[in-house]
Chain A
């Protein structure tokens, strides 16, 4: 694959993370933006959070390549801009799946990108929260070792099968770290905003990006294969109502998968609304109609409903699975379904902010085969009526 894209090498003597911070500091001091939104260690030291930073000294301690994803960055951007864009121009440095979710939220009217510059970097994945908090010191070490070798084994299940761990297209600027000399990072602008930043910090995108691209494509191909295998392996287990019921059998209806999901943005989920409150007689009638009624009720309806609502925008970030107290492989199941749905619409969430959401796009000639089968049904019925 060759493109005309070019990049600019920037020094990273102290490793990729340090290189990213140095770049952010330089861009901040050159007035490319007013503040940087970036993961950093919390003051107590045992976890990470997004910090909105203006102070260059504070920025020094940021951890763009933090070992965990406690909150999906798209949610953070949404909380800052959902009520309006504000005066500050903010650069957010986030993982590709977070950037993709951010772009989806922009299309869904939950993020205002006007004053936001989205910067992504090649992502080694993140460690599951439950693994990390067993021993945070060990977690830091495991992540460091694994990320240096692009070993995804200790990472979230969906990180292990992630084929969009690098530039996806919707970001303003991507930072390449794969396949290039370890003492530099590759800044690849992807929009006018991105180009402007390079201009202001006195770099011009003249360096070839072939080596980086070759490394990225190689891993992408490997991951695609692994993803397909994983999807196929899971399919037989979860297919059909019985399969799904089995997969979610331990679900306690806490809906935490929904609350940490960047795409599930509804202020009030239907499944937590009054619509899901029933009279005593309703409960008894339902219990009588089958062999008893599971309580809490409507467990599978919630998961399938959520799937239907967000699968076209699902970026397989894995937050849902990390937040599930019953360790149900939620994100793997959702990945399986989302991949198929997105493929059907030839849609990749977060690929471009200009690409409209499939559900808001009307095409006259779409899914004729679906129409065809219904046409058959209706003509048969008409025939019977005659």
Chain B
């Protein structure tokens, strides 16, 4: 595997001219008013990095432009759908999200601290788990598919009202053991290609792997509209894609390892702004 990376590093010299299409110094202001922190000092627990960067910084200028305006951002189509769903009464209790939570804007501050420990449920919960918890326990409605269209649209809505706020997930207290589990997974090599998350996203961000311009793998921008499949994508689906790309058997969406990984990776972005729904390739 060292051979692969060594060859890759040499070939990167061929790439740099092409990769110049990305403007890594650019700043992101959405709708000319929401300032997004796309680069900042790495959080203390992150020993191997000095600066953390949002995935936005690594994309081509055309892709970056798509996120600067809510009309241009194709991910906002799904947020509009979720806005409608927000007021839909569903389930045996005759409630909608709005009945308890008010307007979506009132949910600002929620996305930046997820995944987080839920005392009543005695577990670390991702936003999807919390939404389904509300649906089944409070609304008497059916669960949404974890990474299905309805859930991702709602995640997009919840992210959008927190844009500009710094990610701030707790890594201590009751969440600590999950966080440590996630950290261990992050640094474990998997699959036939024997790659860990860190091999690409910590050791080689900014370089190219084949034709891909590697980011730091931050998830402050999720859910993200990928140009590749022209729809919103969730964090855990993306993890599955990455793990599959190391030619490993991937974890299922929603299992403990995925929750742990999501918590840990989110904490690597503490300080970056919530950006979702973002636009990536």
Asked if A and B are interacting partners, one says no
Q: A: which residues have CB within 8 A of B?
A: none
Q: B: which residues have CB within 8 A of A?
A: none
